[in-house]
Amino acid sequence: MIEWTGNQFKVGDISFQAIGDLDDLYRLSIADGYVIGKTRSYIDRYFDCLGGGDFQNVVELGIFRGGSTIFLNELLTPRRLAAVDISRKVPRMLQQYMTDNPRALPVKPFMGVNQSSVSDLEKICNDFIEGEPLDLVIDDASHFYDETRASFEFLFPRLREGGLYIIEDWGWRNHSSDNGSYSTSYGDRKSLANLVFQLVLAANTAPDLIADIHINRDFMTIRKGSKVVSDNFNVGRFCYHRGKRLDDVDFFT
């Protein structure tokens, strides 16, 4: 269990700060600990999900200021942690951690990478991960349906049996009010909840593909089953209703 002091906590000797609201993403200084773009309850759920697990090969999509990368490295002590982001510059906070802390050795940033670029993801898996199975993928990148699905369909087959795939902030388009800044700015983008429904249906159709799914308001966790998946994996091929394959049906616009 994480011991909190307000919105601050420690993993080992490293101090972190959770956010109270989105403005804290830019307002908080690292003088009081590395900033993670997640609330206290969000981090507690993460700790319950990942704490004590054995995750050696980890891919994180979307790192923003880099605090989550530092948190994952300290919590999981992986052998390799690929930190992937569309921004072209390594965040100052992460760069400082990598310079100051010898425990940062497993961390390698891959900047300027769109999460939907299969060729870039393939190079990361082949060169940095050295072709080994993945243990954990965390997607906190675009939160857009097409990009998130592209990443999932490439990376999920590369998980080991029992490996975890986490998709964060899946419900940004499905709040009771449509006044959120994300919904206002990206109102024309398809709801990520479509992928959530597709994965739930796929878990029902192919339990050897998806062993189980857990969903809360912050993220969903998909556990890989024993099924060996081909390189042309398409989650829509596992979605059925009353015997009819749904393929790429949209549940939400």
Q: What is the mean pLDDT of residues 92-110?
A: 97
Residues ≥6 apart with Cβ < 8 Å to 252 = 173, 174, 190, 191, 193, 194
pLDDT bracket for residue 104 (50, 70, 90): very high
Position 182 scores a pLDDT of 56
Taking 80 as the threshold, does the pLDDT of residue 185 lie above it?
Answer: no
Residues ≥6 apart with Cβ < 8 Å to 81 = 58, 59, 60, 69, 72, 73, 106, 107, 108
Position 183 scores a pLDDT of 55
| Total-model pTM | 0.94
| Residues 193-224 pLDDT 10s | 999 999 999 999 999 999 999 999 999 999 99
pLDDT bracket for residue 253 (50, 70, 90): low
Taking 90 as the threshold, does the pLDDT of residue 148 lie above it?
Answer: yes
| Residues 20-40 pLDDT 10s | 998 998 899 889 899 999 999
Taking 80 as the threshold, does the pLDDT of residue 176 lie above it?
Answer: no
pLDDT bracket for residue 187 (50, 70, 90): low
Domains of the chain: 52-245 (3.40.50.150)
Distance of CA 196 to the CA centre of its chain: 14
pLDDT bracket for residue 181 (50, 70, 90): low
Taking 80 as the threshold, does the pLDDT of residue 175 lie above it?
Answer: no
% of the chain surpassing 70 pLDDT: 93
| Residues 46-98 pLDDT 10s | 999 998 899 999 999 999 999 999 999 999 999 999 999 999 999 999 999 99
Question: 126-142: buried (b, 16+ CB within 10 Å) or exposed (e) per residue?
Answer: eeebeeeebbbbbbbbb
Taking 70 as the threshold, does the pLDDT of residue 179 lie above it?
Answer: no
Structure token pair of residue 36: 């993670």
Distance of CA 12 to the CA centre of its chain: 23
Rg, the chain, Cα only = 18
Shortest CA distance to 189 belongs to which of 214, 215, 169, 219?
169
Taking 80 as the threshold, does the pLDDT of residue 231 lie above it?
Answer: no
**Dist. CA 167–CA 180, nearest whole Å:** 20
